[in-house]
Structure formats: structure tokens, C-alpha cells
């Protein structure tokens, strides 16, 4: 298993674990009347689960298992795939920190951090397409 | 990778790109703002990344790697092709992408877009399950 795949999958596990904790907090919020910031975590929960865990796991497995691109460059443009890893996780971290803050107390710092998170996540998705497209092929 | 898997996985990647783009617009609207119509695209964003990306990718990879039937079974007419009823898998591909394309009409004001998109996605799912069910078996059994 290549190093980038291990990193994608292990970081995915971390996102999965954090999403489970956030999900549990959201469920406890009804009966326990937890602080207001807990309910602001709902979009973060969805994205930790579906982007941080599911999509990141898929990215790692695709990078590992899809057909080799060429003999010289079996896993295609690896730099682009590494760029995907960094932008995806930087974007998720920014939204984890700033999305609840912006929801509860809108301010310029949080707003522009979310703008940066949006650009990073789109860059992650598009760079992964660029890194993988040529590996989606027949024999 | 068989031809249908290539089509499904590439379509899934396109949905990933478009779905992330829509998600980026919505997140940008939550932050700096300036895109007032962004929220109208939320149902399409969800449909694109859940169905168009995640589920379609799973179908494309399943079509590729699930056990095939033995050559003798095809020759004896016990199965249609080595990958079973391939027509159902192709139908699933067409229905899935018709579903996501139909969803695009929702933010433009067509009220029936999402219900029809949902029905098409359900039909796509049923078609693929019917295709894949007999292939969930021991290798060469």
C-alpha cells in the first residue's frame, strides 16, 4: 500500500472517529440541552463523515488499486494526488474550526476562513479528478 | 476495467467535481457571501455527491470486480454474459445520470425535478441490484 494511501486512510479514520463523537453530541443535544455551539456542528458532522471519511477512503483506495497509468508513472501525477490530500484536509480543518463560529457569531475572520475552506475543498475535488482521470481505463 | 466501469467511474468523477463546486458555492455564501442563489443548489449538491459520486462509483467498481460467471455457463445459456445481465447495469448507468441531470432543473424552478430525479435514482438502484445479485457468489461457483 503506497504511503499516500496509508495517509488518506488513516486520516479518514481520524475524521470518522471525530464525526462519531460529533454525531453523539448532536443526538445528546435533545435530552441534555447542551451548549448552543453543539447544534451548529451539524454541517461539520455531515462533511466529516462524507468527505473526511467516505470520500477520503475512496481517494486512498483509488490511488492504490486503479489500473496503472504507464510503466514509468504507474500512479499518474503523484504530486497532484498529494496536493489533493493537503487541500482536502486543510479545507475540512478550516470548516471544522470556523463554520460553527460563523453560524453563532458572524465575523470577518470566520467568513474569510470559510471562503478559503470552500476554495481548498473545490481544489481538492478537481485535483483528484486530474490525478485519476487517465487511470480510469480498460486493459 | 470493462467499458461500463470506465463510463460509470468517469461519470462519478464528473459528479464529484460538480458536486464539490456546488458545495464550495454554498460554503462561500456562508462566509464572504455575494452568491444569494447558492442555497437553491443544496438538494442538487447532496444528490450529486451522494448518488452521482459515491453510489455511482461503488456501482462502477462493483461491476468491474464482482465475480463473473464461468465461460461454460454462458455457452450453456444459463447466464446471458460473463458478467450476467449486462443490460441491467447499462440501464442503471443511464437512469442514474438521467436522475442527476433532471435534478439540475430544480433550482431553475421546475417543481417536479426532484421527485422525478428521485424516482429515476430508485429505478437505477433497483436495476443495478438485479444485475449484481447473482454475481455475489463464490468465485467460479
Q: Give the 3-state secondary structure of chain A.
A: CCHHHHHHHHHHHHHHHHHHHHHHHHHHHHHHCCCHHHHCCHHHHHHHHHHHHHHHHHHHHHHHHCCCCCCCCCCCCHHHHHHHHHHHHHHHHHHHHHHHHHHHCCCHHHHHHHHHHHHHHHHHHHHHHHHHHHHCCCC
Average pLDDT over residues B57-81: 84
Closest residue, chain A, to B53 (C-alpha): A55
Supply the pLDDT for residue B70.
Answer: 80
Handedness of CA A89, A93, A98, A100 (dihedral sign): positive
Q: How does the average pLDDT of chain B come out, rounded?
A: 93
The ipTM of this complex is 0.94
Average pLDDT over residues A106-123: 98
Closest CA to A85 of A1, A2, A5: A5
Supply the pLDDT for residue A139.
Answer: 73
Supply the pLDDT for residue B89.
Answer: 97
The model's pTM is 0.94
- What is the separation of C-alpha A106 from the centre of its chain, rounded to a whole number of angstroms? 24
Supply the pLDDT for residue B102.
Answer: 97
- Nearest-Cα distance to chain A for B92, in Å, is 19
Q: Does B35 touch chain A (CB under 8 A)?
A: no
Average pLDDT over residues B127-140: 90
- B10/A110 CB distance under 8 A: no
For the stretch B101-132, pLDDT in tens is 999 999 999 999 999 999 999 999 999 999 99
- A129/B19 CB distance under 8 A: no
Q: Does A109 touch chain B (CB under 8 A)?
A: no
Q: Does A107 touch chain B (CB under 8 A)?
A: no
Helix/strand number for chain B, H first, E second:
6, 0
Residue B43 has pLDDT above 80, yes or no: yes
- A118/B28 CB distance under 8 A: yes
Chain B residues near residue A110 by CB distance under 8 angstroms? 31
Residue A79 has pLDDT above 80, yes or no: yes
Measured distance CA(A15)–CA(A62) in Å, rounded: 19
Amino acid at each position: 500500500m503506497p504511503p499516500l494511501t496509508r495517509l488518506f486512510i488513516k486520516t479518514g479514520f481520524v475524521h470518522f472517529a471525530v464525526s462519531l463523537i460529533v454525531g453523539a453530541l448532536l443526538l445528546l443535544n435533545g435530552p441534555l440541552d447542551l451548549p448552543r455551539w453543539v447544534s451548529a456542528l451539524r454541517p461539520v458532522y455531515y462533511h466529516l463523515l462524507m468527505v473526511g471519511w467516505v470520500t477520503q477512503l475512496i481517494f486512498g483506495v483509488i490511488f492504490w488499486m486503479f489500473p496503472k497509468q504507464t510503466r514509468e508513472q504507474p500512479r499518474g501525477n503523484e504530486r497532484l494526488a498529494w496536493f489533493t490530500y493537503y487541500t482536502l484536509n486543510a479545507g475540512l480543518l478550516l470548516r471544522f474550526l470556523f463554520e460553527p463560529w460563523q453560524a453563532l457569531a458572524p465575523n470577518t475572520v470566520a467568513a474569510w476562513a470559510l471562503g478559503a475552506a470552500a476554495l481548498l475543498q473545490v481544489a481538492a475535488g478537481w485535483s483528484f479528478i486530474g490525478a485519476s482521470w487517465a487511470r480510469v481505463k480498460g486493459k | 476495467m470493462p467499458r461500463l466501469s470506465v463510463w460509470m467511474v468517469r461519470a462519478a468523477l464528473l459528479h464529484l467535481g460538480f458536486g464539490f463546486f456546488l458545495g464550495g458555492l454554498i460554503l462561500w455564501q456562508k462566509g464572504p457571501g455575494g452568491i444569494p442563489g447558492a442555497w437553491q443548489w443544496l438538494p442538487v449538491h447532496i444528490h450529486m455527491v451522494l448518488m452521482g459520486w459515491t453510489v455511482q462509483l461503488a456501482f462502477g467498481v462493483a461491476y468491474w470486480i464482482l465475480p463473473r460467471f464461468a465461460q461454460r455457463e454462458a455457452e450453456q445459456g444459463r447466464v446471458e454474459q460473463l458478467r450476467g445481465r449486462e443490460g441491467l447495469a447499462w440501464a442503471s448507468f443511464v437512469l442514474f445520470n438521467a436522475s442527476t441531470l433532471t435534478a439540475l432543473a430544480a433550482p431553475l424552478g421546475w417543481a417536479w425535478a426532484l421527485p422525478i430525479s428521485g424516482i429515476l435514482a430508485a429505478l437505477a438502484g433497483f436495476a443495478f441490484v438485479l444485475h449484481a445479485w447473482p454475481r455475489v457468489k463464490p468465485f467460479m461457483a
